[in-house]
Amino acid sequence: MKLITAIIRPFKLDDVREALSEAGVSGITVTEVKGFGRQKGHTELYRGAEYQVDFLPKLKLEIAVTDALFDAAIEAITRSAGTGKVGDGKVFVSPLEQAIRIRTGELDSDAL
């Protein structure tokens, strides 16, 4: 099992969710986050004053998948979240040692 953590642009969430659903992924956790990478923020105008926005709004997706669904999930995320511009985001992959469904006590892939 793997835990996929993806940082994406907020407006790409519906595209990514649909692509993951088509790939057979049944669960996703979404968190609103702020940060920057190579994009390094941008400047905005507010009431005639220019100011620097250092931390940009992003969404953090956490998806637990079985090894069988892993490649399809990664492909779905990278295909649907990309715009080809700086700031599209990143995908991080971690091994997932154990998963437990609280309601039933099911373990590992049965819990997903």
31-58 pLDDT tens trace: 999 988 876 766 667 777 776 777 889 9
Determine the pLDDT at residue 48: 75
Determine the pLDDT at residue 90: 95
Where does residue 81 fall: left (phi above 0), alpha (psi -120 to 50 degrees), or beta otherwise?
alpha
Determine the pLDDT at residue 42: 64
Considering only residues 84 and 44, tell me which one the structure prediction assigns the higher pLDDT.
84
| CATH number, residue 90 | 3.30.70.120
Range of the domain at 8: 2-110
Determine the pLDDT at residue 53: 73
Residues 72-78 have a mean pLDDT of 97
Give the pTM.
0.86
How many domains, in total, are found in the chain? 1
